[in-house]
Chains A and B, each alone.
Chain A
């Protein structure tokens, strides 16, 4: 009996070590990076659905002094390799379905890991929805109070879950099976997401269907703009206060903080109008400007925190979507109404980072409204 129990115990330990070691080496979430073999585990298609886990570990490994914050629009369009950055390395910390509180937490978390010098925050209207549903993956304990006891406990939990779970084992096998498929969503080393998944989708169904799919999802499935409120009537507080907190922190830490409003396609703006939130959208912009203007007035000799609005109707954002019977036509500027391409993102960064790229002139229509006062529209 004792011999059996001893062998049983040793077997449990051995198999746990073998399975855990397998997960560690295959590393489906791209967080350990111990061994990478071409064709076996260099691509991490699984990491896209666990981006918060993947990117927080990447922040610690890369220790960036430049940061991009925002949603999936930011991680598809804004390039950390853009020559306009005044610091290096830069990491794209864009996350799907993020909200403004999470962006603020990430700013603080990144600063705790390594002092930041320059940060571009790509704001989206949906970031500010009151009581926005938080994805299960977005546990704030992962990015709060870096190095503290609660953070260490959560880190331990992350390590256990990514090494010693059946889920991780399945995802390791899936990682091996899905190498070089060509259409997976892949997070690059700098935090951007490669365009291959969108290119495949466009090649498969064409731009128009992707535009329609995105618009339908926003309106009917995700219902992002349904019951949209910025202000909590119970206590009078607004979600925009998080922007004020970001500005306070940036000023305290001497961070060059720049805000943009994403250059979504005009059809996406029409989705806002259709959802009945256009008035709130305008109010949101006014309040953003008011917060930054109030801060600038309080610190006349301090640095400015500019806000650039690219969400207007212009020749870039109003580009005609190819007809349904022209699926072979390609847009250089948008994948669908919500996501702009890196080409547009480069122009945005040219403007925001005051960079002049040789051979790339920014169309006047995408010049962006540089909003430093209340002249929000048509400045």
Chain B
């Protein structure tokens, strides 16, 4: 039973290390050119289209996708390296990150050829921002309670209802959203939802209301649909059968390095203020954090290696996100404790440390909610252990 969970010791191959050096050099260049400021924490400038375009030119968006759609057909482990180097450098990836991680792969699997030909290359060029329309005012973790309705009309569907907590919606070119095409059945409460590609820039009847987060950032939105028309061609996959399409993508969404590196810079600043000779207590605290991070990264690399090998490590991906987000949620509090007796005289170091600590502390509460709550993840792991149905 327990051996159903597998985390093979996977190493990044040589081509990944070459790529890593290339990515680091690129980031250094972009910082020097002023494309972005790596010290910029918690600012709203992560929608950086110039940076996105330059990343697109390097071929690092959609890099695992087929060449005919603008991709590079490189490996998931290579994408892993790009993702983690961007994250650690605090690079502004919001324009393309969602599309690169999950929307593009969904389109490749379920969209018609015409959409693939037109949309995917634009994502790869860094011109196209995506959001995910899942949650609704009455439906968050319980995805299958979604009620926003798609009514069949000639040539397509009319959408009525609203989505909420929709990150990027105010900037997005497209959403991939779930709408109700049929009521659930007695036998299967997951039945009746269909996935659509929503053109946010060219569809009448869609309005977007900002929701400001406690951090002061504007990521969330409420998206209201009033008789918004979706052509049949924008249907993704099986009518009423969206629930079958979600599972394998979850492993990608949940196991990546972004699940525990979002606030990694606070660790760098911690090392800086601790100095070369920390006291025993600080050394132990720092050592534990590094060991825990190393372990999480090895688990995450392992899951991505399994994905590359064509496996579907959905339960393992959930374990990575559960452990990773809990760890990162506690990180600022641990860092604060470890630094409790530091008396660093350098004002610059102090300011950077305080700023990163404040940012990490502020975003900590959301880490275990977004993209699958702790409770949902533990339910999936419990199912993997055979304790309940999936």
A and B part of one assembly:
no
- Contact surface of B with A, Cβ cutoff 8 Å: none
